[in-house]
Amino acid sequence: MKDWKNEYQVKLCSAVEAANLVKSGDSIFTAGFSAMPLDFSEALAERKDSLEGVAYYGCLSPYPLKIMDGSFKGHVNYITIFTGPVERLKAPEGNIDQLSVHLGELDRFLVERVRPNVVAVNVSEPDKHGWMTFGPCGGMGIHTAKELAETVIVTVQPSQPKVPGDFNTIHVSEVDAIIETDVPIPNLPGSEPAELENQIASHVAPLVEDGSTIQVGIGGLPGAVALSLADKKDLGIHTEMLTDAMYHLVKTGAVTGSRKNRYPGKIVYGFAAGSNELLEYLDDNPRCIIRPVSETVDAHLCGQNDNFVSINTCLMTSITGQIASEAINYTQISGTGGQLDLVRAARNSRGGKSFIVLASTRTLKSGERLSNISLGLPPGSPVTTPRTDVEYVATEYGVVNLRYKSNLERARALISIAHPDFRDELRAGLTQATHYSLDDL
């Protein structure tokens, strides 16, 4: 390893040269978000006509890559394991193959489905010994993929934080090609919560006790709940995704981690996305521990923390609590992620609680307003979290606990937090579809 600087120079190449290492039929894994290599991916697009049947696996892409265009279908096929806004926008063109994968099974998924022979990811600059890190998104299966791959291509990105970990590093000697780039690491800064989001958060915050270990999902609503916990004491963080909202709790002093059972005093996460301030905080910070997402969402490991609180959002729920978090009808909007595992983790935890938060209504482009609490999920809508696993559900009209409730009790509870304009409609529809009477409801 003493001569790593010479080896680095030997392996240093252009994005075009690295893309030339890809062959027809290859399976490429690029992980997601800040790990995804822009220069390599765009150079790969220039090889379109010389490639057939290449599978390109990514997720939550921060870039509208050329290979996502419909014209690339059959040449370079883009496959996402968690649909983000960019993938959702490009999906109608026909070259976005959308999968829903429990992140707790990501390593197994890589072995059994992806079987990558090429890994192409962003890394931080080498340290004085030649070690590079996969950065704040390194927990997204890269460690497993690199063990399976025949070819490892890295893009050295100066703005990529150094995030050490026993699985999150790679040495110059272990890679086949090195690209250098000045593309900055993408940001995903949080936004100020809207009034409705704060209303929903106000129902959840009183139920989160001091000393709880929290997991907060992606999106503005879970973020608003996190921000509402700033006055709590001794919170811990063990989360799938680390965001600005949780970092705010660190800055306010609400997070100490002193009561955690696993990694006490440490902030544990699988991947992180947020502002530059968050990324700078993660840089070489021994207080923060990145672990594989297969661990950070593991229902048994997370549940070893007492008072583990899971906070996630959804698109809609049926009147009995079937939770649709990833798609409505046949339109994929996000992914399964770790929601179900984390809901179950809260149930495994002594004193744990899980919350699903959602707005009571949504408005279509046509202007029509629909209730997000419905008699049943629309045809084609997958159930992300079964009703038998659901505990607390909150809207701007309150919070209810569905655990161990009968169908009738569930219906009463969810109608009570539905938008008032839809409550009578829900009652009438349920009486027509069942043996229940209006008096029951």
Q: How far apart are CA 243 and CA 248, in angstroms?
A: 9
Among 240, 326, 391, 396, the active-site one is 240
Active site residue 192: no
Q: Hey, which residues are catalytic here?
A: 240
